[in-house]
Structure 1
Amino acid sequence: MKRVTITIDGEQTKGIVIGTIAANHTAAEWLLTASVSAKSAKVRFDPEEAVAETSSLVMIAPTRTEKYLYLVPDEQVQPVTTIVRKYGLLSPLDWDCPDYPAGDAFEHLFLQNKLWNDLVTIEREHRAKYRELIGSDEETAQMDTEIASIKDRLSVLDEGRKKLRVEHRKKKCPEIDCLDENIKKLKSELKAVASKAKETRAAAKDRIRAAGNDIENLEKDRQAAVIKAYNNSGLWWGNYNAVLESYKKARIKALKDGAELKYHRFDGSGRFTNQIQGGMSVQDLLEGNRNVASLRLVSSGELGDISGKKPPSLDLQSVGSRRDSREYGILAITLYTGTDEQSKKFRRTLSFPVILHRPLPEGATLKSLSVHRKRVGTDFVWSVVFTFTTDCPTYDQRSSTGNRCGLNLGWKKQAGGGLRVATIYDGSDARHITLPQAIIDGLDYVNGDLQGRIDSAANENHAWLLEQWGGDELPESLQELRSMLRRSKRPHPAKFAKAVIAWRNYPEYLGDARDEAEQRRKATKRLTIEMAHKREKLLRRRMDFYRNTAKQLTSVYDVICLDKMDLRRLALLEKGDGTPNELTKIARKQRQQAAISELRECLSKAAAKNGTQIEQVSTASSATCSACKGKMEQVDGIMWRCRECRALVDQDINAAANLFREVL
């Protein structure tokens, strides 16, 4: 669906394109298979009348309860461009304000997390009832019983395999190999039964739907439960709408992938979302003409006086930096975080020093803004995301060049340094995209050295504390913590810190040891903070590299062909049949460092902006010779040889060449 502007009765109105009708066809057939939302809209045209030219079905929603459907010729439809701007914020100036209830803003973040978890519960209960309804069919129930039996046997075998691996301290030995073979057979059997059960459920679903409205009523119950959940959430509508939108997107993806929604642990992170009805101009935002949000520009000196922190110095200007064009301001957003005696929401303001590293888009309409609070180690990082719309194209509409390329994604360490993450072939030249070695070294330090030191400290602190607390004279409340530590499957810095903080209530008990415990806790905390901040910087640096790479590629090529890869399967430690994933430990580490899913996502977004077409094809690009279509075999590392023409080529270049030929 894309947002557009159309003209109705001489006035421009924004809407969403939900379908297309080809020339000389009617909309009647499309309406028969339309979604529930589309069917509920009032149709403002004759569905039985054939259109003379290709037309778009545009849905207009002037209010939350009204929906209208129009059929408009494509030449009269003007696309709406969405512009997103993200800026850094300093800590809020009035987070704990005496004029408002203590912790009101923090509680709002918690309530949003609680609403998400409530929606996950509703979804899981709905799926259980759905499975129960489908399983009420006798044939389906029999298949489900068989599947449950196989899963129980698999669980027993898997638990035994884990114990043997711990006992032998390796993944391969005769006893483990025997279990691997049995697990492989059972998983193969499970796959066959599950496939048959899927067909049985589909048939049962048709029978149940034909017999009554049970499935439809079940969906109505789910929707009613969702409405009740957000109405009772205690949240302002802008914030519960943001949670609902995330829930809908995650639900669709989970249903498509056969996955399950997960609960979120609340760690203080969250967002405040202000949806601006009717939109707001940039001028209104800067002048504070609307209560929902305002942005007052200030000088760098004034910002330092207000925030109590010195802003980044402009004297540190370096090549490529935006510091010379920075602006500063105070962003104020409206929250409804509490209720009065009449249970009516009351308004409060939350203010943030903001650093504008790039100007706001001129002539655009602000539709929403979200202030994000993200935990990084023991600190919180604040940012704001503005979402604007405009009828004017914001990106240079480059003319078509006809350039095409094949892009093979993967990860391989380069002899000269860096990690190869993609190979491009455009018919005349092949080149590689290499993640800089500095990022690889940084990730190795964070996930290897720092994480190892933290784990070692956690193990030592765990053993040391249990030794100190071994006596019978230990206070009763600390005895409960000692029991918790003994039951722990693995030591963790947070558990040690919790115990040490509780020890502060007993200053007379082993005072010298308590002081040493505090030193141990602080040392581990310093390492944890260092790891969190370094990792955050490295991940941002990698994302910036991928964004720039995607922009360069989509500005050159009209069509980019990718291999259709299921990256989730590569992340699994086991295949579907129970055999271990063939990726070595080093390859798995490099897969995490490369994060090619991020590169693919950046390509998709950049392509949408620049008008580049992304094609994904399912082909044996690596195993097929790009010269003669013969079968390839590995010779030495990355070099493969064709069995037919005996050509010796780089595996990635060969794959990229095959992908290029798919879009010729």
Structure 2
Amino acid sequence: MLEPIDWHSDCDQEIERANALWNRLVDIHELYVSKYYDLILTDDDLIFAKSVYERLVRDNAALSIVLNAKKHLAVTQKEVSKRMAAELRALELARREAVKVARQNSGLWWGNYNPLVRAFENARSAAVRSGHTMRRRTSGGNSRITNTLQGGADVEHLFDGSLSQVMIRPPSGLAWSAESRGERRRLQRTRLTATVFVQSGERRSVTWPMVMHRPIPDDCRVKEVIITRRRVGERWKWAASFICTRTAEHTAPIPIGAKAIAVDIGWRRVPEGLRVATVASADGLPRFVVLQRDLIDSFAFVDELREHVQTSARVGLELLQATDATLFEQPYQDLLIALQQRQDGRFAALREFSRGPFFTAQSRDVIGAEITAWRMGYTKLVTWLSNHQRKVVARRDHQYQNAAIEILRGASTIIINDVKFGEIGRRSPPGDDGGFFPKRVNYYRVVAAPSEFVRCLKLQAAKRGIPFAKAEAPSPVGCPECGSTARRSRADAMPQICEACGTSFDQDVATCQSLLAQGGRQSSSKRRE
């Protein structure tokens, strides 16, 4: 979408109300996290486990000892939470009531506050599970406007003007069938009018010039229309998403002759690139999902760009720290002083500061040539990093989607080796307490994103009605010839060489074969029962 035609300051005020509600929810979350710890830290067992872990960290104890203490602390905390289930439930109900009050007092239109609260709760759940903190939103940042069509609406109602919240000017009938791409592109131009907010019964609607890249299927019901605003460099980039539902299609029957397949997920450097998965069937040759070297190089370039951004950020912080804030008028003086006094999260604060009114609302002559030049280079690097990273991740995920479709062609069932990715990622590198994983294991784990590939397989299997299961293969896997687990080679070498019979084999392929054997034994036992 292009810039809106009739967007004014009242629409920005609605965005600011949304940011204020988000920040209020963060305050509520932090308050109740504090109350949660005040409650559970009355337990003597938890106090002791926590003190032991903190002492080991403070004394720089061996990594394995610290990890064991951390695991014991987590188990103890879980047990305490079970014992205090009633008190914690009352605390959660009080938090939800505070969220409800904040939502009602926000001044937001219901169409905007309901999705915001829902998004916050999803983000909060993820933050609690991963041990992260919730971030506050700053003024002038990315935002979105949501129109929820209660009960859904037929597609034709989007175009005939019968919906009060959303309307699209009908594009030409040749918009997706004209022979020339340029002609199709021209005919796909239209306008979207959507509600930004409603106050005192007055509906505030805004119109955006829009290009519809593809038609909405006629058999859909439109549930939501989400308009997003994202800053790219010095301008806003607008986009519209239509959330629709369709009647579930009947799953096609599994073809005759389909075979069970097993998949071993992992990440391993090979000459071609980075092996992410090994696929095998009972009577077929193994296949491999490999991220090619040029894609690995693209991920490496992301790290290189990130280093450039951090270097530029350090230069900018030093430059702004040395700048006399009294040279600027209010409120820009206070903004600069707040950045100079910031002790933690300075890099994130600098990124928001570089996009804020200190630079956008003042002339370059007031800011100064040196700071202006730094900001121009820094903004270019940040935008370059963001765009390149998004494209690389999308390219990898697209490869995973295609690989999942190809793997499931002719499959009767799929068995995934149940690998605990989190535990593997935390294992120590060579030389630290006897760990044997490569030093860059966590880096390649991020590049490979094996959980994303598992998600693609599970999604495609569900679409095709193919049974999807996880099973834990034996580790180390036995030799395919004699079953011995003794090795002449290192545990991470490829191929593996059996010490008993000297057979050379790929342990990923052997893992898939063991999964298929387990599945066959389970099927036989079920038939006997």
Q: Which TM-score band applies after superposition, normalised by the shorter structure?
A: 0.7 to 0.9
Q: 2:194 aligns with which of 324, 333, 351?
A: 333
Tell which deviates more after alignment, 261-270 or 222-231: 261-270
Residue 149 of structure 1 aligns with an amino acid whose one-letter code is S
- Find out whether 1:188 has 2:68 as its counterpart: yes
How far off is 1:649 after superposition? 1.4
The structure whose residues are more often strand, as a share, is 1
Residue 254 of structure 2 aligns with an amino acid whose one-letter code is S
**Percent of pairs with identical residues:** 24
- Which residue pairs with 1:160 in the alignment? none
- Which residue pairs with 1:233 in the alignment? 106
Verify the 8 A CA contact 2:146 2:225 in the aligned structure 1: yes
- Which residue pairs with 1:389 in the alignment? 245
- Going from structure 1 to structure 2, the CA distance change for 1:599 and 1:191 (only over 3 Å counts) comes to closer
- Which residue pairs with 1:94 in the alignment? 5
CA distance in 2, matches of 1:294, 1:119: 32
How far off is 1:124 after superposition? 4.4
- Going from structure 1 to structure 2, the CA distance change for 1:531 and 1:391 (only over 3 Å counts) comes to closer
How far off is 1:184 after superposition? 4.5
Q: 2:51 aligns with which of 130, 149, 161?
A: 149
- Which residue pairs with 1:19 in the alignment? none
Residue 391 of structure 1 aligns with an amino acid whose one-letter code is T
- Which residue pairs with 1:291 in the alignment? 164
Q: 1:347 aligns with which of 203, 206, 214?
A: 203
Residue 84 of structure 2 aligns with an amino acid whose one-letter code is K
Kindly report which structure 2 residues correspond to 1:41-190, keeping only aligned pairs within 5 A, or say none.
90-94=1-5, 96-97=7-8, 102=9, 104-133=10-39, 140=43, 142-157=44-59, 179-181=60-62, 184-185=64-65, 188-189=68-69
Residue 453 of structure 1 aligns with an amino acid whose one-letter code is H
- Going from structure 1 to structure 2, the CA distance change for 1:184 and 1:198 (only over 3 Å counts) comes to same
CA distance in 1, matches of 2:90, 2:338: 49
- Going from structure 1 to structure 2, the CA distance change for 1:109 and 1:582 (only over 3 Å counts) comes to farther
CA distance in 2, matches of 1:154, 1:490: 26
Kindly report which structure 2 residues correspond to 1:83-482, keeping only aligned pairs within 5 A, or say none.
90-94=1-5, 96-97=7-8, 102=9, 104-133=10-39, 140=43, 142-157=44-59, 179-181=60-62, 184-185=64-65, 188-189=68-69, 191-192=71-72, 195-196=75-76, 198-199=78-79, 202=82, 204-205=83-84, 214=87, 217-250=90-123, 257=129, 259=131, 262-266=134-138, 268-298=141-171, 314-315=180-181, 327-336=188-197, 339=199, 344-376=200-232, 379-391=235-247, 393=249, 397-401=252-256, 402-416=258-272, 418-427=273-282, 428-448=284-304, 450-459=305-314, 475=327
Residue 119 of structure 1 aligns with an amino acid whose one-letter code is L
Using structure 2 for the length normalisation, give the TM-score: 0.79
Query: Aligned to 2:384, what secondary structure does the other structure show?
Result: helix
Residue 426 of structure 1 aligns with an amino acid whose one-letter code is S
CA distance in 2, matches of 1:517, 1:300: 52
CA distance in 2, matches of 1:188, 1:93: 56
Verify the 8 A CA contact 1:370 1:386 in the aligned structure 2: yes
CA distance in 2, matches of 1:365, 1:481: 49
Q: Which protein has the larger Cα radius of gyration, Structure 1 or Structure 2?
A: 1
Query: Aligned to 2:401, what secondary structure does the other structure show?
Result: helix
Tell which deviates more after alignment, 619-628 or 559-568: 619-628
- Going from structure 1 to structure 2, the CA distance change for 1:535 and 1:205 (only over 3 Å counts) comes to closer
- Find out whether 1:605 has 2:459 as its counterpart: yes
CA distance in 2, matches of 1:265, 1:441: 34
- Which residue pairs with 2:497 in the alignment? 641
- Going from structure 1 to structure 2, the CA distance change for 1:617 and 1:534 (only over 3 Å counts) comes to same
Residue 472 of structure 2 aligns with an amino acid whose one-letter code is S
Q: 2:417 aligns with which of 563, 568, 572?
A: 563
Residue 403 of structure 2 aligns with an amino acid whose one-letter code is T
- Find out whether 1:625 has 2:498 as its counterpart: no
- Find out whether 1:592 has 2:472 as its counterpart: no
- Going from structure 1 to structure 2, the CA distance change for 1:659 and 1:447 (only over 3 Å counts) comes to same
Query: Aligned to 1:663, what secondary structure does the other structure show?
Result: helix
Verify the 8 A CA contact 1:623 1:632 in the aligned structure 2: no
Residue 413 of structure 1 aligns with an amino acid whose one-letter code is R
How far off is 1:464 after superposition? 6.7
Query: Aligned to 1:297, what secondary structure does the other structure show?
Result: coil
- Consecutive unaligned residues in structure 2, runs of 5 or more: 521-529
- Going from structure 1 to structure 2, the CA distance change for 1:488 and 1:230 (only over 3 Å counts) comes to closer
Question: What is the alpha-carbon root mean square deviation over aligned residues?
Answer: 4.3
Query: Aligned to 1:637, what secondary structure does the other structure show?
Result: coil
- Which residue pairs with 1:40 in the alignment? none
CA distance in 2, matches of 1:504, 1:364: 48
How far off is 1:389 after superposition? 2.5
Residue 109 of structure 2 aligns with an amino acid whose one-letter code is W
Verify the 8 A CA contact 1:333 1:349 in the aligned structure 2: yes
Verify the 8 A CA contact 2:3 2:208 in the aligned structure 1: yes
- Going from structure 1 to structure 2, the CA distance change for 1:479 and 1:261 (only over 3 Å counts) comes to closer
Q: Deviations over 1:460-512 (max 9, x none)?
A: 56667778x6xx99858889959966987898574995899599779599xxx
Verify the 8 A CA contact 1:378 1:529 in the aligned structure 2: no
Residue 438 of structure 1 aligns with an amino acid whose one-letter code is D
- Going from structure 1 to structure 2, the CA distance change for 1:549 and 1:377 (only over 3 Å counts) comes to farther
How far off is 1:133 after superposition? 4.4
- Consecutive unaligned residues in structure 1, runs of 5 or more: 1-89, 158-178, 303-312, 318-322
Q: 1:526 aligns with which of 380, 391, 398?
A: 380
